[in-house]
Structure 1
Amino acid sequence: MSGESAGRRPEAGDADAGAGAPLHHRVPDLGALELLLAVARLGSLGRAARAQGITQPAASSRIRSMERQLGVALVERSPRGSRLTEAGALVTDWARRVVEAAEAFDAGTQALRGRRDSRLRVVASMTIAEYLLPGWLIALRTQRPGTAVSLAAGNTRDVADRLLAGAADLGFVEGLDVPAGLDGAVIGHDRLVVVAAPSHPWTRRRTELTAAELAATPLILRERGSGTRQVLDAALAGAGGLAAPLLELASTTAVKSAVVSEAAPSVLSELAVREELTARRLVEVPVRGLRLGRELRAVWRVGQRPVGPARDLLGLTRGAP
């Protein structure tokens, strides 16, 4: 390296104190080791610096820092270039093995990421699974065409069980809070509405329905454990609690069909009945003083925040209703 001064030669006392210090204090980082290998290969600190994409002063400073850390001189500088000292040749041989091991480590972790990113297992409560996830998954397909996605639908309890059992990577729920053992993030909001067939007497009322009247009426409802039922139970707890349901069904589609057939009213997600309300197959019945809003959440196991395709899907949910 032309014109450079080696400065004071490193001494053993310059090295970090002894084997008791943490390894990362005693062993140079990969960037420094790669630079040393480049010097050995190219015979010039300047050419090694260019190969590593750094300036020559930065490369010189890094070599000096490594020499101080190890307590030995590694490179001799002269007008004809740079060559390794005897200690430098030994360190370079060891550095080559470390870098090769790091390359193997990197290849292995890339393979793990590739295997992880090749599939995405999603589990969601019924409303989100039926009315929101299809659009999100289509958008994800354009970002990650090589990722195979599976979707399981169930109630909030099912979502929690599958995530906790490691059978899903990301879940979506509509209940009041995050199930035990899970972390989550609010991605949107929804509202439950009371609906009835157009011929039902409630649709011709001149006054709003009261919470007590709703609570006392046998309804067609989703099963216990669903987010819809959880929110409704909590909302009507102060009005005496829900009467025994006329029917309990595990599918929002089945509930809607039963209500349309004039069996009884129900309380369902506004997302789920939007089309039926527009077509007047169902009619919304106003209820006085009853709050039926709820948060839509993405959930995952505690300590396992979404990565890869799960993180990308989570990003696509921003702006949900």
Structure 2
Amino acid sequence: MPLPPWISDLPALDLLVSVAETGSVGRAAQVHGITQPSASARLAKLERRLGVPLLVRSRRGSLLTPAGEAVVAWSHGVLDAAQTLADGVLTLRADRQARLRIAASLTVAEYLLPAWLLALRRPHPDLDIAAAVANSNGVVSAVRAGTADLGFVESPDLPPDLSSRVVGNDRLALVVAASYPLAAHAWRPLRATDLADQPLLLREPGSGTRDTFLKALAASLGFAPSLPHAISLGSTTTILSTVRAGGGVGVISARAAASAVAAGELVELQVEGLSLTRPLHALWLGRTPTALAAELLSIAAA
């Protein structure tokens, strides 16, 4: 059964309790920091809304009617619960202002997030920051569950129930060991169809890197290939180690491969018609992020 509308007038009930405690509308008004006419108007409105007389006014002050005494007795528990609610909400607000919980997919966590957090820490040296690393699906789950105030993902598909903002871009690279057979022909771009027979080293299902690559490959071919020789690996580090051992074609962020490619350990392959650039998104629950999350968003986007 829904609550009646007048139950929301807690300030008027609180004022009525003060009248019972002080014996006067004027003294109760002083306790609440309002004028006596304003207090009288609030109490009169409360009487009209409840439909019962609450006070009898005399030269000696204001006396509660029997109905007023009953309402005051019942109001104590309600007001105590309301105060508990108010105190709890204020504590939550203070906690949100002093703590920031982040979930980030691997590429963002390893190559971008540290610098962002360092920039945020400078004006907030006492800020409590908790950062968790997960694949894009895990990040979405954390934000949706409220265990992360802000999430960063690489996935091309964004959940419609979360707010989002582009904070940067990333590019995937297809890399092989310098001794791998395809490396000798790296000067000649491959066709997308050439990848189907290769042992592709992909991140696990739920990874934004994997989803971006598979979506780009399907768009280039016009259909989703079966990729019978593809291998799923749980981290970029594992993919790099397997690539160095000659285990196949690694599909990772170009940021992760840059130093090894520059050193000549790995060779980046080129594929005609395969677009591997992807946006990086920040996600949050609700229409607007928390103040600290909004500040980190500005740093990331800059």
Tell me the TM-score normalized by structure 2.
0.67
Q: Within 5 A, what are the aligned runs for 1:54-93? A: 54-76=34-56, 82-87=61-66, 88-93=68-73
Work out the CA distance in 2 between the residues paired with 1:70 and 1:104: 25
Unaligned 5+ segments in structure 1 are 1-19
Work out the CA distance in 2 between the residues paired with 1:279 and 1:266: 17
Tell me the TM-score normalized by structure 1.
0.63
Shift of 1:236: 1.5
| Percent identity of equivalent pairs | 40
Task: Report the residue type matching 1:318 in the other structure.
Answer: L
Shift of 1:100: 2.6
Cα 1:287–1:312 shift into 2, 3 Å = farther
User: Do the aligned partners of 1:45 and 1:81 also contact (CA within 8 Å) in 2?
Assistant: no
Instruction: Give the equivalent residue in structure 1 for 2:207.
Output: 226
Instruction: Give the equivalent residue in structure 2 for 1:38.
Output: 18
Q: Within 5 A, what are the aligned runs for 1:205-284? A: 205=187, 208-237=189-218, 238-239=220-221, 241=225, 243-245=227-229, 248-260=232-244, 264-276=248-260, 282=266, 284=268
User: Do the aligned partners of 2:212 and 2:276 also contact (CA within 8 Å) in 1?
Assistant: yes
User: Do the aligned partners of 1:124 and 1:152 also contact (CA within 8 Å) in 2?
Assistant: yes
Q: Within 5 A, what are the aligned runs for 1:77-226? A: 82-87=61-66, 88-106=68-86, 124-134=104-114, 139=120, 149=130, 151=132, 153=134, 155-156=135-136, 169-170=147-148, 173-178=153-158, 183-188=161-166, 189-196=169-176, 200-203=183-186, 205=187, 208-226=189-207
User: Do the aligned partners of 1:26 and 1:69 also contact (CA within 8 Å) in 2?
Assistant: yes
Cα 1:113–1:28 shift into 2, 3 Å = closer
Query: Of 288, 297, 301, which residue of structure 2 is paired with 1:318?
Result: 297
Shift of 1:123: 5.8
Cα 1:282–1:24 shift into 2, 3 Å = farther
132-141 vs 211-220, greater mean Cα deviation: 132-141
Work out the CA distance in 1 between the residues paired with 2:29 and 2:122: 42
Shift of 1:32: 0.6
Superposition RMSD in Å: 4.7
User: Do the aligned partners of 1:136 and 1:313 also contact (CA within 8 Å) in 2?
Assistant: no
Residue by residue, what CA displacement relative to the aligned partner does 1:254-282 show, whole Å, maximum 9, x if unpaired? 22234456655432223433555566655
Query: Of 291, 296, 319, which residue of structure 1 is paired with 2:275?
Result: 291
